[in-house]
């Protein structure tokens, strides 16, 4: 058996504790697979006296990052402390010291991943970050290795468990957004400040990473259009269900002719779509390849042990590279110049809910306006609201461009017969007639 591989751990929170537990409990398996033991030599913490749910010799704890970063006996740095600037500086220092790095930090990878990968390669170091997207689901390794022979055309994901839990509660139990969020917070699925989750920022960071890896182009966080779920109405979930759709916060990345679009937004998914039945706090990523067709990766997207599993898998990969003396040789540089699709090049079906005057000829006026933009309707519901002397119209368009849909929507606001555009959402997937309920076609 060869010399042990030594780990320096930056952070001892939920994920860091899970990493230590996994390494301790799986020593026999790790030694069998690697031909050497893996040991945690030192751990950076803010408060050494804090009570923790992991048994660890106190002599391994330090409050000085240099005790770890400058230790010549430490081979791999595992960054699970979170944050951006401090973690960024520590990782650069680790590479300068010829240490390999594993991180679970999606914020850091989304913002500085390309620069960090280049720095790692220059120093013949490995930089792995499987745990930064979808927790324990091996999606990055699946794309980089399992689907490396294919051309990936589209990646769609439920990559935030908090929002999926909230939308599941709203859909299945009819509770309000506020009540569903409160329950998610009570169960620990949502933070006290849930902004990053519910406004789509967490998912956007993950989609920047997925888009970059899938299409070999520099997708930055600023390239991701983001819309969260805080304004999703139970009415739209109800009408979507009636029309054959489930509401999900979807991260979407697509590449055609080397042009990409990446966005995160609440989306009505046809119930037959593989992602539509992913419930509660679970994550799933749907990948469509030119050769393989549809694939889907499903599992827990967060939590101590699932995320730790991804971190330790990266440690295993780096250790194998150390034994083969190929560290820093695995990374594939980006291939294509970033080219973003314009709204006129982004195609989709769309859902819209309107409040209009309840009088003759209103729908004909609206239909004519959309026809001027070459937009036709696939499904339509109309509900009179006699008490308010208005009507509610819900429709799903056939495929059109985002640019055309936006122009039509702008003109709708100027029609006297349209009182309010209550909502509009992207639609994905085709609905079977049997799943479309009793939709009324006008």
Active site residues: 206
As a dihedral over the C-alpha atoms of residue 305, residue 318, residue 35, residue 18, rounded to 10 degrees, the angle is: -20
Distance CA 11, CA 18 (A): 11
Among candidates 3, 25, 55, which has minimal Cα distance to 309?
Answer: 25
Distance CA 89, CA 428 (A): 41
């Amino acid at each position: 058996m060869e010399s042990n591989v030594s780990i320096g751990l930056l952070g001892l929170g939920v994920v860091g504790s899970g990493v230590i537990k996994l390494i301790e409990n799986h020593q026999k398996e790790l030694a069998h697979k690697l031909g050497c033991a893996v040991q945690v030599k030192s751990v950076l913490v803010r408060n050494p006296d804090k009570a923790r749910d992991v048994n660890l010799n106190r002599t391994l704890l330090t409050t000085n990052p240099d005790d770890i970063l400058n230790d010549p006996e430490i081979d791999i740095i595992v960054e699970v402390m979170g944050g951006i600037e401090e973690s960024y500086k520590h990782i650069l220092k680790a590479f300068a010291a010829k240490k390999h790095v594993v991180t679970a930090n999606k914020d850091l990878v989304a913002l500085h991943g390309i620069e960090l990968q280049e720095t790692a390669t220059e120093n013949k170091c490995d930089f792995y970050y499987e745990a930064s997207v979808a927790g324990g689901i091996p999606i990055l390794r699946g794309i980089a290795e399992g689907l490396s022979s294919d051309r990936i055309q589209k990646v769609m994901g439920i990559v935030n468990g908090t929002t999926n839990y909230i939308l599941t509660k709203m859909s299945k139990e009819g509770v309000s957004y506020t009540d569903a969020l409160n329950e998610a917070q009570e169960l620990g699925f949502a933070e006290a400040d849930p902004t990053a989750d519910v406004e789509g920022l967490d998912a956007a960071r993950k989609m920047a990473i997925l888009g970059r890896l899938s299409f070999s182009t520099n997708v930055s966080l600023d390239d991701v259009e983001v819309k969260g779920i805080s304004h999703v109405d139970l009415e739209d979930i109800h009408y979507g269900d009636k029309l054959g759709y489930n509401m999900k916060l979807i991260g979407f990345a697509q590449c055609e002719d080397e042009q990409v679009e990446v966005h995160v937004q609440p989306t009505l998914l046809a119930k037959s779509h593989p992602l539509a039945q992913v419930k509660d706090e679970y994550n799933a990523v749907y990948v469509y390849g030119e050769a393989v067709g549809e694939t889907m990766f499903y599992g827990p997207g967060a939590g101590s042990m699932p995320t730790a599993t991804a971190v330790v898998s990266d440690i295993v990969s780096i250790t194998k590279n150390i034994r083969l003396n190929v560290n820093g040789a695995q990374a594939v540089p980006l291939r294509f110049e970033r080219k973003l699709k314009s709204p006129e090049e982004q195609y989709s079906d769309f859902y819209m809910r309107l409040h209009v005057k309840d009088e003759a000829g209103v729908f004909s006026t609206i239909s004519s306006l959309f026809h001027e933009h070459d937009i036709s309707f696939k499904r339509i519901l109309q509900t009179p609201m006699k008490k308010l002397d208005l009507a509610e119209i819900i429709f799903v368009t056939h495929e059109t461009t985002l640019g055309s849909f936006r122009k039509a929507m702008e003109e709708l606001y100027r029609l006297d017969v349209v009182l309010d555009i209550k909502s509009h959402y992207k639609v994905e997937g085709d609905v079977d007639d049997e799943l479309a309920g009793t939709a009324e076609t006008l």
